[in-house]
Structure 1
Amino acid sequence: DNNQVNDLACLQDAELPWCQRINLSSNKLKALPSLGALQRLRFAYFGSNEIESLEGFGSHPVLEELDLQENKLSSLKGLGCLESLRRLVLTGNQLTSLEGLDTPALKHLDVAKNQLAALEHLAGAPECRVLDISGNQLNSEDPEMKELLRLGTETPMLQELRIAGNPVADGFGDSCKIEVLVRAAQLLRVDDEELTVEDRE
């Protein structure tokens, strides 16, 4: 990591059958092409680059962890189905939607510090246990709070949520965790604060 790499063409046809981990953080990558030749790739780190697109990233059947924080992604289109992915980090991008999320085994999703105003397509991570959506644009103008309701219906296994720094959280103030709990009763922690028996009464 921390070099001046701006292209992954050398890896597209590379014969690295045993490669399980790749770290190209802090470089100058603008796109993330398919690394299909790395069939055993389990951990991939591409944080702090200039990646704008995932088009062509393709299938990585055993990939467990993917870090794309601090890039320039506005969309997840092209991410493809990552059936073994357990952890996905997308902090500090420019995402306005979760469309393209197809991660049936995902346990940890971090999309903090993006531009999300809605949580549509969250159902693409039905097994999610930890979700960080802090620092986005979720607002409280919807009287039915359908975006918060998604936390209960689309991610029924969710246990930990970080939601601070959204207009909806600021609007609720100290009652935020209760408002969230009403809509997602399975939660155990909100903004790193454990939910108590009293909170549930």
Structure 2
Amino acid sequence: MPSWTRSLNLSYNRLSEIDPAAFEDLTNLQEVYLNSNELTAVPSLGAASMHVVSLFLQHNKILSVDGSQLKSYLSLEVLDLSSNNITEIRSSCFPNGLRVRELNLASNRISILESGAFDGLSRSLLTLRLSKNRITQLPVKAFKLPRLTQLDLNRNRIRLIEGLTFQGLDSLEFC
């Protein structure tokens, strides 16, 4: 593949894992589409990871988000993990330093949303989609995201919203 490749679409295959060496020479890669495969974790793209701006992983079999898997994505702004099998979002999922502006976690099986889970994205996150999950309660200060403009929580099982849950959402326009 030419080193100047900027966008790569490997959607609708049967990929269960990715060899990072396959992306070694793709230093200009900015968009990666791996939708509708059989991936069980966020893949490493080796050295190419640091240049990827948009990573689309919807309709895979991803069970969890591990912060160590995302650390190499230094330029990442759009992360789509919708329609996977993610059950919980912990405070270790999104490490400090990521520049993600749009995060889509819709249509998963998320039932546990840990307080401070998105704190690592507080300087960059503008859009957060958590619709169609199994969230039953929103912890205190769940969203300390001063730049967030859109928060989607529809079609969950929310029964309890604790006080101060939405404190820190100073820029919110749509909820």
Specify the TM-score bucket, using the shorter chain as the normaliser: 0.7 to 0.9
Question: Separation in 2 of the partners of 1:111 and 1:12?
Answer: 32
Q: 1:82 to 1:2 in 2, by over 3 A?
A: farther
Residue in 2 aligned with 1:48? Answer: 59
Q: Is residue 31–residue 54 contact of structure 2 (8 Å, CA) maintained in 1?
A: yes
Q: 1:11 to 1:113 in 2, by over 3 A?
A: farther
Q: 1:81 to 1:15 in 2, by over 3 A?
A: farther
- Bigger drift between 34-43 and 85-94 goes to 34-43
Question: Separation in 1 of the partners of 2:173 and 2:89?
Answer: 24
Residue in 1 aligned with 2:155? Answer: 135
**Higher strand proportion (structure 1 or 2):** 2
**Residue ranges of structure 2 left out of the alignment (5+ in a row):** 1-10
Q: How many pairs are equivalent?
A: 155
Question: Separation in 1 of the partners of 2:22 and 2:113?
Answer: 27
Question: Separation in 1 of the partners of 2:136 and 2:37?
Answer: 29
Choose which of 53, 57, 68 in structure 1 pairs with 2:69: 57
Q: Is residue 42–residue 62 contact of structure 2 (8 Å, CA) maintained in 1?
A: yes
Choose which of 14, 17, 20 in structure 1 pairs with 2:27: 17
Question: Separation in 2 of the partners of 1:42 and 1:82?
Answer: 14
Residue in 1 aligned with 2:127? Answer: 108
Residue in 1 aligned with 2:18? Answer: 8
Residue in 2 aligned with 1:196? Answer: none
Residue in 2 aligned with 1:190? Answer: none
Deviations 1:106-151 (A, max 9, x none): 11000001111222353353321101000112115xxxx525x422
Residue in 1 aligned with 2:88? Answer: 75
Residue in 2 aligned with 1:39? Answer: 50
Q: Is residue 148–residue 171 contact of structure 2 (8 Å, CA) maintained in 1?
A: yes
- Bigger drift between 120-129 and 81-90 goes to 120-129
Which of these two proteins has the greater Rg computed from alpha carbons? 1
**Residue ranges of structure 1 left out of the alignment (5+ in a row):** 162-201
Residue in 1 aligned with 2:173? Answer: 159
- Bigger drift between 106-115 and 91-100 goes to 91-100
One-letter amino acid matched to 1:49: N
Identity %: 25
One-letter amino acid matched to 1:93: N
One-letter amino acid matched to 2:77: E
Residue in 1 aligned with 2:165? Answer: 150
Aligned Cα RMSD in Å?
2.2
Choose which of 101, 120, 145 in structure 2 pairs with 1:125: 145
Deviations 1:39-68 (A, max 9, x none): 111000000011112223132222110001
One-letter amino acid matched to 2:82: Q
